[in-house]
Amino acid sequence: MPTQLNKKALEHARSLLRKGHVVRDERDDWSEHAPSTDDENAFIEKHGMDEFALWHLGEDTSATPGTKGRYSFPYGDFHRLHRCGVISAESRAGQYDHTSIERALKDLLAHIDA
């Protein structure tokens, strides 16, 4: 699976951080704060797939364009960057050897915690 860093999503995450649109929650909060499938579908219906993609740091270039399956490593709730989402995504990126995504997430986390 050729998953690569979604650079537009990284810029979006950094922009949220600069604007202070960050939730400094705890590591295990992501299961409660992550958008549900219904939330994702409603967001896509209202804002489109390009906006949905901005909330995911991974993009699988072998997956069909315009599908949710193309995007991975979510980091927020479609409103704010979540510390717990960044931690969860960083852990998974490391687990699956997505080094560039893992590094980007470590950098985001360092700036959140600064």
pLDDT along the chain (114 residues), means of 10: 92 98 93 96 98 98 95 97 97 96 98 96
**Distance between CA atoms of 56 and 63, rounded to whole angstroms?**
14
Q: pTM of the prediction?
A: 0.94
**Residues 80/21, Cβ–Cβ less than 8 Å:** yes
The tokens of 56 are what?
A: 């995911």
Do 59 and 12 form a contact (C-beta atoms < 8 A)? no
What is residue 27's predicted lDDT score, i.e. its pLDDT?
A: 84
Nearest-angstrom CA–CA distance, 104 and 94:
11
Q: Which tens digits make up the pLDDT trace of 44-73?
A: 999 999 999 999 999 999 999 999 999 999
Which helix (H) or strand (E) is 88 found in, with range? helix 83-95
